[in-house]
Amino acid sequence: MQFGIFSVSDITSSPVTGYTPSEAERIDASVQLAKRADEVGLDVFAIGEHHNPPFFSSSPTTLLAHIAAQTERILMSTAVTLITTNDPVKLAEDYAMLQHLSKGRMDLMLGRGNTVPVYPWFGQDIHKGLELALENYNLLHRLWREDVVDWEGSFRTALQGFTSIPRPLDDVPPFVWHGAIRTPEIAEQAAYYGNGYFANNILAPNFHFKPLVDLYRRRYAHYGHGTPEQAIVGLGGQAYIAKNSQDAVRKFRPYFEGSPIYGKSYRLEDFMHGTPLSVGSPQEVIEKTLTFREGFGDYQRQLWVVDHSVPLEEALEQVELLGTEVVPTLRKEMESLRAPGVPDAPTHASRVREKYGDAEPRQPRPNPNRGDNVTGTSPYQDTDPSIIANLPLVA
């Protein structure tokens, strides 16, 4: 079981002070939250991808590589990477590079996103969003598993003899989660490939997405990856914690009531009761999390949103309480409840062991169609010397 925090990278004004942090402040705060999560023993830090205000994370791999260089053990992930408006070739390259830089401490979650204008900004049609998601991931899956790819599809130019570089670390591709809360086809795709399925149900009623999770489990078994109980499920939630529940409710209420998302439409108590929002003592957060285990069955990843309208020091305290007061108990409880045969959440090390056992991981084969430097000769050996000789000198 993996526990961690995630952010959609929003820049939110404080309803208490009215202060709006700058992009620089929010970027730095995300790094500090990830470092604190690493220090207190959380397993995952995930960041979303957006290309419009009021968000800042347009380049998740850059931020996650920076965090990986400053942490020891925490996994880098996304929430989500846009599979619809990113070129799958660039995704293959960028996330393989992150895999190398983090020494395997990463995976990624793919999704269509929820920002309508992003599609035309990147030359795509939102009405083709589902087809883009399905086709682009099919290509990404191949790029990480085949050293030389010939491919033709509907949404990008064809590939002939193409090798994505760098090749995946240890020739084991990054693990992929598919994040979806409205589309059975994405649950089907995750099941087909034996990938993970993540239901980010933070704003929906309790168990609203159980039908999609159940569909994924059934289809995971149908495709021969294991039993429905062994399917690789992740859940999202939101938490605000204090030593006792009264203090938690008192401190969080102004942030909830000042939120443009839900504060004008719901009472805090009703939202706490009816959705995955946990506001209370560490024990109350533990108990609520366990109710989702009862309803969804065994799952392998739990990520919480820490409200970004609270001051940084308060957010850091939330991460610390999750790591020191909530997660240690949840680990024991979840392990004692876990059905036989349900696997741990995949990591790079576990997938290398699964593929190779005690053998040494093989190095990817070079691509002879790309002039790979496999003999020590120059990769430019076929270049006409006159082209170089006739280049103008720069004073």
- CA geometry: angle 180, 197, 263, nearest 5 deg: 45
What is the pTM for the complete model shown? 0.92
Q: Determine the Cα–Cα distance for residues 29 and 19; give it in Å rounded to an integer.
A: 15
Q: Which domains does the chain possess?
A: 2-389 (3.20.20.30)
CA 288, 333, 74, 295 torsion-angle sign: negative
Q: Determine the Cα–Cα distance for residues 277 and 351; give it in Å rounded to an integer.
A: 33
Task: Give the pLDDT confidence score for residue 374 in this predicted structure.
Answer: 45
Task: Give the pLDDT confidence score for residue 361 in this predicted structure.
Answer: 79
Task: Give the pLDDT confidence score for residue 384 in this predicted structure.
Answer: 63
Query: Hey, which residues does 106 pair with through a beta bridge?
Result: 76
Tokens of 353: 């062991």
Q: Determine the Cα–Cα distance for residues 108 and 235; give it in Å rounded to an integer.
A: 15
In this structure, what is the dihedral angle of CA atoms 53, 206, 193, 63, given to the nearest 10 degrees?
A: 30
How many C-beta atoms surround the C-beta of residue 53 within 10 A?
9
- CA geometry: angle 145, 146, 152, nearest 5 deg: 110
Mind listing the pLDDT tens digit for each residue in 261-294? Answer: 887 788 999 999 999 999 999 999 999 999 999 9
Q: What is the maximum span of the chain, computed from C-alpha positions, in angstroms?
A: 79
Q: Which residue has the tokens 């989702």?
A: 292
Mind listing the pLDDT tens digit for each residue in 147-166? Answer: 999 999 999 999 999 999 99
DSSP letter, residue 157: -
Mind listing the pLDDT tens digit for each residue in 113-142? Answer: 877 888 899 999 999 999 999 999 999 999
Task: Give the pLDDT confidence score for residue 209 in this predicted structure.
Answer: 93
For residue 68, the one-letter residue type is A
Mind listing the pLDDT tens digit for each residue in 235-254? Answer: 999 999 999 999 999 999 99
Can you give the pLDDT of all 395 residues of the chain as single tens digits?
A: 999 999 999 998 999 999 999 999 999 999 999 999 999 999 999 999 999 999 999 999 999 999 999 999 999 999 999 999 999 999 999 999 999 999 999 999 999 987 788 889 999 999 999 999 999 999 999 999 999 999 999 999 999 999 999 999 999 999 999 999 888 999 999 999 999 999 987 888 999 999 999 999 999 999 999 999 999 999 999 999 999 999 999 999 999 999 888 877 889 999 999 999 999 999 999 999 999 999 999 999 999 998 888 999 999 999 999 999 999 999 999 999 999 999 999 999 999 999 999 888 776 666 655 555 444 445 555 556 666 566 666 54
